[in-house]
Structure 1
Amino acid sequence: MDFVQHNIWLIVLAVFSGFMLIFPSLRGKISGTSEVDTTGAVQLINHENAIVLDVREANEFSSGHIADAKHIPVGQLANSLKPLEKYKDQAIVVNCRSGARSSTACGVLRKNGFTKVYNLKGGILAWQQAGLPTVK
């Protein structure tokens, strides 16, 4: 008990750090967003003709993106759903840099009636680390 009393801030910091590590995966489970890894995303693109939606900012998108990806920054998504309406029942793989913004975008899409929405786990960074191609 003496240890706890003398090191309470270290314990609080350790608990907080642990929570921050697991929060991204909990957030996806709570929101009902399905995550897909790079292999799953490639399968969705090749076998289910999935649409890729990149929700990064314009400068990030222009530095390299998945081929044929549609680009709508996450901040503009709620007001820019019209071009995506025809894909409501089609698989959509949403990506950003690391997976956080795309998780938010998946929530927006689901809220607006899109049924097959997948968040690319790890984002474009995971895509590039897997050695998959990007285009500029």
Structure 2
Amino acid sequence: MDRLIEFAQANLLLSVAFAGLTVALVYTEIARLFRPFKGVSPAQLTDLINRENALVLDIRGQAEFEKGHIIGARHLLPSQVDPEGKLLAKAKESPVVVVCYAGVSATGVAQKLAKAGFTRVSVLEGGIGAWQQAGLPLAKGKA
């Protein structure tokens, strides 16, 4: 323990950076526990699509969507997501999964949907990249 204290004193900047990163990681994990939506893996998303006809919203840009998207996914830009709109109004009680490139931008849209009363909102963890890494198929072109 004495050596740890000695190291921390000799490397103050490194020690502060380590403490800051630790706090940030703990905060992120605690926030994840209390968010109003959940994360799903590619396998879980496949199950939701096949068993419960989940609505998959791909919020990437149009060009990215056309290069490859999950079969059956609907394309909407984050600014176009309207919880009361024609596409989403019927899905308040159904599973809705938001997909982006890496699973980060989708959280804002999922938060918006959950706040609007959607009860079964999820985000594809790792985004379309995780889907591809799992070796799952993509459709090309417009939906």
Q: TM-score w.r.t. structure 2 length?
A: 0.82
Amino acid at match of 1:98: A
Equivalent in the alignment of 1:76: 80
SS in 2 for 1:87: coil
Residue 37 of structure 1: CA displacement? Answer: 0.7
**Identity across aligned pairs (percent)?**
38
Contact 2:39–2:124 (8 Å) recurs in 1: yes
User: Which structure features the higher share of helix residues?
Assistant: 1
The C-alpha deviation readout for 1:55-80, integer Å capped at 9, x for no partner, is 11222212211011111122332x47
Structure 2: 5+ residue stretches without partners = none
Mapping 1:1-136, distance limit 5 Å: 1-18=5-22, 25-77=29-81, 79=82, 81-82=84-85, 83-136=87-140
For the structure 1 residues 106 and 59, does the alpha-carbon distance in structure 2 shift closer, same or farther, using more than 3 Å as the test? same
Q: Which residue type is aligned with residue 66 of structure 2?
A: S
How many residue pairs get aligned? The number is: 135
- Select the structure of larger CA radius of gyration: 2
Q: Please report how far the alpha carbon of residue 5 of structure 1 lies from its aligned counterpart in structure 2 after TM superposition.
A: 2.1
Letter in 2 for 1:89: E
Task: Give 1:6 shift.
Answer: 2.2
User: TM-score under structure 1 normalisation?
Assistant: 0.86
* RMSD of aligned alpha carbons: 2.1
Supply the distance in 1 between the matched residues of 2:27 and 2:135 (Cα, whole angstroms): 27
